């Protein structure tokens, strides 16, 4: 299955954006590898199958809408209060959502085929924009893609606890699974 040329929208009704974190440091056994879902977001895509460079993608995320879905590993299971605390830290100390309520992605370059592509663009997190590349493919009427985000490139200090013995890795993986809805 490939995508047809046209204009499309997408959001939580037709897809998911998940952020995957991993642990590092001497205390890594105490923490959890997290899967965090973005729950409020929307995007637009214009797809030109004849000339992929004429395609474009924009995504806008409510930075306060990240919710911890799962936590694996760790000495003890992740509790509801653990999830709430992590979400509070993400909003207040990592993303500073009071000053930067939106995360945006705007493509600057699209290439590949209708089945396999990569998109380069500016990702703005907490007021800082950096270039990021999304690798993707189209299969079973779904667009799936991923990008690795090195938090420190956006001025974000990865979360740490236990006096630095437990840290989140600087790299997080963002995975997309989207159903595109033709704009009428």
pLDDT at 76: 81
Residue 1: pLDDT above 70? no
Token pair 């290439």 in the structure block, residue: 111
CA distance 176 to 7: 18
Residue 104: CB atoms within 10 A of its CB come to 15
CA dist 90 and 82 (Å) reads 12
pLDDT greater than 80 at residue 107: yes
Segment 128-141 shows an average pLDDT of: 92
Q: Determine the average pLDDT of the residues in 98-102.
A: 97
The rounded distance, in Å, linking the Cα atoms of 150 and 158 is 9
> Running DSSP on this structure, what letter comes out for residue 79?
P
Q: Which two tokens stand for residue 77?
A: 């299971």
Q: Count Cβ atoms within 10 A of the Cβ of residue 164 and give its class: 0-12 exposed, 13-18 middle, 19 or more buried.
A: exposed
Closest CA to 86 of 24, 34, 142, 10: 34
User: Can you give the residue ranges of every domain in the chain?
Assistant: 6-182
The answer to whether the CB of 87 falls within 8 A of the CB of 67 is: yes
At residue 75, the pLDDT reads 75
Band of pLDDT at residue 120, cut at 50, 70 and 90: very high
pLDDT classification of 24: cutoffs 50, 70, 90:
confident
**Can you tell me the distance from the alpha carbon of 70 to that of 125, in angstroms, rounded to the nearest whole number?**
23
Distance CA 167, CA 5 (A): 44
Beta pairing class for 102-112 and 116-125: antiparallel
Q: Would you identify the CATH topology of the domain 6-182?
A: Lipocalin (2.40.128)
d(CA 63, CA 180): 22
pLDDT digits (tens, 9 = 90+) for 27-83: 556 677 889 999 999 999 999 888 889 999 999 999 999 999 988 887 788 889 988
**Model's pTM, two decimal places?**
0.90
Across the strands, what pairs with 135?
118, 146
Q: What is the mean pLDDT of the chain?
A: 88
- Scanning the structure block, which residue is given the tokens 């929208």? 9
Q: What is the pLDDT of residue 28?
A: 55
| Residue 2 structure tokens | 């490939």
Helix (H, G, I), strand (E, B) or coil at 51: coil
């Amino acid at each position: 299955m490939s995508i047809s040329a046209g204009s499309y929208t997408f959001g939580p009704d037709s897809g998911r954006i998940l952020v995957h974190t991993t642990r590092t440091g001497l205390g890594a056994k105490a923490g959890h590898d997290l899967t965090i879902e973005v729950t409020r977001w929307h995007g637009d895509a214009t797809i030109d199958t004849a000339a992929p460079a004429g395609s474009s993608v924009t995504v806008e995320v409510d930075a306060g809408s990240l919710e911890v879905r799962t936590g694996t590993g760790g000495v003890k299971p992740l509790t509801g209060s653990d999830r709430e605390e992590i979400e509070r830290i993400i909003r207040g100390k990592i993303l500073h959502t009071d000053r930067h309520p939106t995360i945006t992605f705007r493509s600057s370059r699209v290439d590949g085929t209708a089945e396999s592509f990569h998109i380069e663009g500016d990702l703005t997190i907490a007021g800082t924009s950096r270039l990021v590349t999304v690798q993707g493919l189209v299969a079973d009427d779904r667009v799936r893609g991923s990008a690795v985000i090195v938090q420190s490139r956006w001025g974000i200090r990865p979360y740490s606890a236990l006096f630095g013995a437990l840290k989140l890795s600087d790299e997080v993986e963002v995975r997309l699974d989207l159903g595109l809805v033709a704009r009428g």
